[in-house]
């Protein structure tokens, strides 16, 4: 049998035990960049998006925009998008499969062409993640929605304003609705919306394009326009990357200064880290110094929609709590299956008891290096954090999960003194 080797992804080889020290700049937010990239479809005019991170998900979104007929150029951290040539309203399955946020093309394509054909995103490892709320909104807005052969076909005749209340808080559901309603010249009202900083960054962009949007609590009133304009916008910092780097500093008993951070977007994360024993000292508007204040303390975390504790920081905190003296509890209220990382952390010696949506973490003295697998984006971040502090070597496979949402994470951590080697993963 010929010994074929397939490069399915990269792997990380981490030598644990280094205290991180130094300064690192936080990149732009992935989950703001993606909806804002799709907002460019709402007009024929060109747009410039600044502070866009180099991520696989951003590459996938760029590829989709080009498939739809737009021109996309990247210059350093800027994306120049010319959507004039967009002549398709179909988002193919092979892109949606790779990046479920492609469903955000539905609202803009329906707004621009009166129709959209988008492949249904399957479930993923953290949960079923249906899009029923997105479709329920489009139906209430007067669209004809048909699900056939794995695709959603949406069509609308005469656009009209709508009053719609989401049954549950959904980030991309809210964004899809805002993107579409920005093209509807009548007044619309959305109730029970998501208000994550990334959603509000999209609102800023839609206002720059000419939509009038007023947000009060979880209620938005929108007056759209049929003549939306191009925009220039600098994406907000990535609060989840910033939180991940903060955990790395505390976990390794380091002393790290983050630059280009927006602490106003991460109050709950800062509060929980301080409760766990971190020393977090703001320096001016966009800098913060992070150290550990003695051995971390056990804490309780319940993930919630913003402004609650973000589910996207849950896996990273579990790595920290794994080496914290005493029993901690994590309750994951957003996704039904977001504890995959617990089983990988256990291979490194963590003592975690997973019961449904609760995980009880019994802190251990030390983690030990092991061979572990990435299962999803934030789980892989959690394993990198554990590898930084584990005794000996840790191998983390399928690093493409990490590359979807973190810009050169190993370079940032190595600049702080970590020892992470990226190697091709050879499957034989």
Catalytic positions: 124
In the region spanning residues 169 to 198, those forming contacts with ligand EPZ, defined by CB under 6 A, are: 170-173, 194
CB of 57: closest distance to ligand EPZ in angstroms?
8
* 31 in contact with ligand EPZ (CB under 6 A): yes
* 401 in contact with ligand EPZ (CB under 6 A): no
| SS (HEC) of the chain | CCCCCEEEEEEEEEECCCCCEEEEECCECHHHHHHHHHHHHHCCCCEEEECCCCCHHHHHHHHHHHHCCCEEEEECCEEEEEHHHCCCCEECHHHHHHCHHHHHHHHHHHHHHCEEEEECCCCECCECCCCHHHHHHHHHCCCEEEEECCEEEEECCCCCCCEEECCCCCHHHHHHHHHHHCCCCCEEEEECCCCCHHHHHHHHHHHHHCCEEEEECCEEEEECCCCCCCCEEECCECHHHHHHHHHHHHHCCCEEEEECCCHHHCHHHHHHHHHCCEEEEEECCCEEEEEECCCCCCCEEEECCCCCECHHHHHHHHHHHCCCCCEEEEECCCCCCCCHHHHHHHHCCCEEEEECCEEEEECCCCCECCEEECCCHHHHHHHHHHHHHCECEEEEECCHHHHHHCCCHHHHHHHCCCCEEEEEEEEC
CB of 169: closest distance to ligand EPZ in angstroms?
6
Residue (132 or 271) nearer to ligand EPZ, CB: 132
CB of 389: closest distance to ligand EPZ in angstroms?
22
Window of 81-89, 127-135, 264-272, 406-414 that interacts with ligand EPZ by CB under 6 A: 127-135
Block residue for tokens 């204040």: 293
CB of 315: closest distance to ligand EPZ in angstroms?
9
* 132 in contact with ligand EPZ (CB under 6 A): yes
Relative orientation angle of helices 132-140 and 171-181, to the nearest 10 degrees: 30
Answer for which of 44, 78, 129, 327 binds ligand EPZ (CB under 6 A) is: 129
Site for ligand EPZ (CB under 6 A): how many residues?
25
In the region spanning residues 89 to 108, those forming contacts with ligand EPZ, defined by CB under 6 A, are: 101
Residue (9 or 333) nearer to ligand EPZ, CB: 333
Answer for which of 228, 334, 385, 420 binds ligand EPZ (CB under 6 A) is: 334
Residue (130 or 264) nearer to ligand EPZ, CB: 130
Window of 130-138, 212-220, 290-298, 410-418 that interacts with ligand EPZ by CB under 6 A: 130-138
Window of 44-52, 81-89, 168-176, 318-326 that interacts with ligand EPZ by CB under 6 A: 168-176
Residue (170 or 257) nearer to ligand EPZ, CB: 170
* 159 in contact with ligand EPZ (CB under 6 A): no
CB of 356: closest distance to ligand EPZ in angstroms?
14
CB of 170: closest distance to ligand EPZ in angstroms?
3
Closest CA to 347 of 378, 299, 381, 386: 386
284 near 276, Cβ under 8 Å?
A: no
Answer for which of 202, 377, 383, 416 binds ligand EPZ (CB under 6 A) is: 377
The mark string for 294-323 relative to ligand EPZ (x by CB under 6 A, - otherwise) is -----------------xx-----------
* 254 in contact with ligand EPZ (CB under 6 A): no
Please report, as ranges, the residues that interact with ligand EPZ according to CB under 6 A: 30-31, 34, 101, 127-134, 168, 170-173, 194, 311-312, 334-335, 377-378, 405
């Amino acid at each position: 049998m010929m010994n074929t080797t397939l490069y399915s992804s990269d792997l990380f080889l981490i030598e644990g035990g280094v205290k991180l020290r130094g300064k690192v700049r936080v990149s732009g937010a992935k989950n703001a960049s993606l909806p804002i990239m799709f907002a460019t479809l709402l007009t024929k005019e060109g747009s410039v998006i600044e502070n866009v991170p180099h991520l696989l998900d951003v590459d996938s979104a760029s590829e989709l925009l080009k498939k739809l007929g737009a021109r996309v150029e990247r210059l350093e951290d800027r994306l120049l998008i010319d959507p004039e040539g967009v002549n398709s309203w179909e988002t193919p399955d092979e892109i949606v499969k790779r990046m479920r946020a492609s469903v955000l093309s539905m609202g803009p394509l329906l707004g621009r062409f009166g129709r959209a054909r988008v492949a249904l995103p399957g479930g993923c490892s953290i949960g079923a993640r249906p899009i029923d709320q997105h479709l329920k909104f489009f139906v209430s807005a007067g669209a004809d929605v048909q699900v056939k052969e794995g695709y959603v076909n949406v069509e609308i005749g005469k656009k009209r304003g709508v009053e719609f209340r989401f049954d549950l808080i959904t980030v991309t559901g809210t964004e899809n609705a805002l993107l579409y309603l920005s093209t509807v010249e009548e007044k619309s009202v959305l109730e029970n919306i998501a208000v994550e900083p990334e959603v509000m960054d999209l609102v800023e962009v839609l206002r720059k394009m000419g939509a009038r949007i007023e947000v009060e609590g979880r209620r938005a009133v929108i007056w759209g326009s049929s003549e939306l304009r191009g925009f220039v916008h600098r994406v907000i910092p990535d609060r989840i990357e910033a939180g991940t780097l903060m955990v790395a500093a505390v976990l390794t008993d380091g002393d790290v200064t983050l630059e280009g951070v927006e602490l106003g977007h991460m109050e709950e994360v800062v509060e929980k880290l301080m409760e766990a024993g971190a020393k977090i000292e703001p320096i001016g508007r966009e800098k913060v110094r992070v150290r550990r204040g003695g051995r971390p303390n056990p804490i309780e975390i319940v993930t919630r929609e913003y402004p609650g504790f973000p589910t996207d920081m849950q896996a990273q905190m579990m790595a920290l709590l794994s080496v914290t003296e005493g029993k901690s509890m994590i309750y994951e209220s957003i996704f039904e299956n977001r504890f995959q990382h617990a089983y990988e952390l256990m291979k490194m010696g963590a003592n975690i008891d997973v019961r449904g949506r609760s995980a009880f973490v019994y802190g251990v003295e030390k983690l030990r290096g092991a061979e572990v697998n990435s299962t999803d984006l934030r789980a892989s971040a959690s394993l990198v954090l554990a590898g930084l502090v584990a005794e000996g070597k840790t191998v983390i496979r399928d690093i493409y999960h990490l590359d979807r949402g973190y810009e050169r994470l190993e370079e940032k951590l190595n600049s702080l003194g970590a020892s992470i080697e990226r190697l091709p993963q050879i499957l034989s």
